[in-house]
Amino acid sequence: MVHISDGILSLPVLAAGWAITIALIAIALWWSKKKGNLEEEIPKLSVMTAAFFVASLIHVPVGPTSVHLILCGLMGIILGILAYPAIFIGLVLQAFLFGHGGVTVLGVNTIDMGIPALVAYGIFKAGNKLIPSKSITGKAGLLGALAGGIAVALAVSLTAGMLFTLGKGYEWAIKALIIYHIPVIVIEAVIVGSVVAFLVKVKPELIEGLGGERK
């Protein structure tokens, strides 16, 4: 699981997590408001936050732990920079309603899933601009799969990095985290690619990462 619980990380790591998360949320909201589309994005943000909230709560037992879909790649592709505050909201609801993750680690957990969402957005948007293709739907599907898989891999890597700050006693947890999420990377790549390809065909205006390109 890429949700770190309370009482594990050190105070400096927690403080840094909150500082970075607050700064990125402020930047995301400021930039969206500057573009003049913040109010228009709220319905889409709400739907995607709900999807992230539900997907992260469905756990599949694997060995001594469990894994779940993250959908941070899809969040980034559809919401752009607003994926970061959307993921924060989803994590807050999970922590307070179901005790999933923790409260003091909200900043760190948002980094672990929010930054991969922003990276996925960048990959998808840049790919659509730089890679020529006669089929926008096919290209979007492939880029969505790539961005979705990379987002999960990055989320796992960031979580492993946070656990690495605790020392050698958590090496087993880091190894398990990486190994058990390999299937999730593949599954999410397929899901995100399929969803993006479908949306490009039926509702391309929903995808922020298209950068204005439409079929």
Task: Say yes or no to pLDDT of 199 above 70.
Answer: yes
Tell me which residue of 146, 149, 124 sits closest to 136, measured CA to CA: 124
Token pair, residue 182, equals 């390999």
Q: What is the pLDDT of residue 197?
A: 94
* Cβ neighbourhood burial of 137 (10 Å; 0-12, 13-18, 19+): middle
Domains recognised in the chain with CATH numbers:
11-210 (1.10.1760.20)
Share of the chain above pLDDT 90, in %: 59
Q: Which amino acid is at 67?
A: V
CA distance 11 to 210: 39
66 forms bridges with which residues in the sheet? 61
42-46, 54-58, 190-194: the lowest-pLDDT one: 54-58
* Residue 2: closest CA among 78, 126, 116: 116
The residue with tokens 């889409």 is: 44
Task: Give the pLDDT score at 212.
Answer: 47
Is the pLDDT assigned to residue 116 strictly greater than 50?
A: yes
